[in-house]
Structure 1
Amino acid sequence: MRSVEINRDMDAKKKLIMTLYWINRKTATIEGCAPFLIRRIKTEENTLLAEEGKFLKFSENVLGDVLTNMEDLKLVEFDINFGKEDIRASIYENTLSVSLSRTKELEDEIIEKLKQESERKYPHVCSKFHKRLGIYNKY
């Protein structure tokens, strides 16, 4: 598992979208066009699990729970499946951690990119990615 401290001043929604985007983008270099499936989201109050063959989307309630926990600097965990790769990610306080099951060297690439992007005023994220997550109000 690799970790990086991310910009304290960045809005929680930007942190969330940036984190998931770069995990997706970097892992796609190995897994190609396989689906990016968020299997589980765990906050202090809730654990949400995806139905078999589906993935979790950020409904208004889910997004609200995740962002509230992030703003309160509480632990939020994600279990993601991307092709043959199982990814565990967490955001706690201002630290992001990522662990991949198969391609450990990709952890360093993801963390390095997140470090670079978190230092930017406007991190680079595909303008349509937030809609794929079910987030319809862009940051």
Structure 2
Amino acid sequence: MVLVLNRTYFPEGTQGALEWNGTLVCYAIELPWLENQRRISCIPEGEYVLQKRFSPKFKWHLHLQNVPGRDFILIHPANDAKKELLGCIAPVTIHTGIGKGSASRIALEKLTTLVYAAMGRNEEVKIRIQYKKLVL
């Protein structure tokens, strides 16, 4: 299974749309692209294996494996990239501004339901992150 995150970059943040088999699953928000600098930039485009992860703070969420130059890049709930993200990806139900969205926990639940079902069938799940100008 390969999820595709289509991104559009802005100086204030990165907007995305997460799709599976050409169907929109949810939107995404991230920090702006600042040359992959830790804690202030989104991660590089590419393909990454996803792993199921639990933490007391985010509960069940996703962890991207082997991100160049970065550790613990997660897909977790957040509604404001600059205030709540340190390089991670936040699924959102709707974009409300650049790097901002709403109903992130609902979007994460929708996403993890899909991904965890595939993992339960012993499928490897990847995310392909790529540039594609989104219509906002």
TM-score relative to the length of structure 1: 0.33
Decide which structure has greater helix share: 1
Decide which structure has greater strand share: 2
TM-score relative to the length of structure 2: 0.33
